[in-house]
Amino acid sequence: MDIGLHSLLKERVLARHDFFMDQVKSRVFDNFSNLEADADDAASEAWEKFMSQPSDGESDPGDFADVALEAGIDFYEYGMKLKRQVTLASLATLYHEWDKQVRSHLERELCRWGYHTAKEGELWKVHISDVLAFLETQGWGIRNSEWYELLDACRLIVNVYKHGKGPSLDELKKRFPQYLKSGVHVLEPDYESLDITEQEFDELGGAVRQFWKEFPQSFPPASF
């Protein structure tokens, strides 16, 4: 591939990645940054609603206070669950987009070298680990990179988020248990314990970015 064209394509991929990461942070994370205060507001609104209603002479204001408090607690818990779901969904989007871009780029490169198996869509039929193994045969020691473990963790997290129980959950427990947040009522972390912090989202996204930043300029002719 022409060096100039390769640089332009890499810049475009990195720009798209950076845009996605920035938008998730500003449009998702920032909206959850004041969740505790928002929950307090929800409790206050519930209290004011109760107190504005005509008294029946029998209701105890203390009961209203308890209900208002529960409204605030529910708001916070629902908000945390929503943030968890949106964060994991954002990571899944990021990972699947990376997966498709890798296959699409390699398909173009192999077709350029005249390999008909690439034209027949073979790259889309194999596991991503086989695609990365192919890149290693071309001289790029991906598995020796500092960011590879995070990229592989991203794969497992997305699989657990999508499928729940299965081999990916078992592997995640063994290799990356930090992404399974145990609650006080959880005896053993399960797929429902899957969660990532904003910092972890940034780190996992950074691994994807580093992959593209270090992506080789071109590959010698080789069959897949």
Residue of 36, 32, 41, 43 lying closest to 71 (CA atoms): 43
Cα 174 from Cα 171, distance rounded (Å): 5
Residue of 37, 34, 44 lying closest to 68 (CA atoms): 44
Tokens 């398909």 correspond to what residue? 107
Across 103-119, average pLDDT: 74
The crossing angle, in degrees rounded to 10, of helices 148-163 and 167-175 is 140
pTM: 0.84
Beta carbons of 28 and 220 less than 8 angstroms apart: no
Beta carbons of 103 and 117 less than 8 angstroms apart: no
Q: Is the pLDDT of residue 1 over 80?
A: no
Element (H, E) at 68: helix 61-112
pLDDT digits (tens, 9 = 90+) for 49-107: 766 766 555 556 566 677 888 888 988 999 999 999 999 999 999 999 999 999 988 88
- How far is CA 20 from each of CA 76, 196, 202, rounded to the nearest angstrom? 26, 17, 11
Q: State the pLDDT at residue 8.
A: 77
Q: What are phi and psi of 176, to 5 degrees?
A: -135, 60
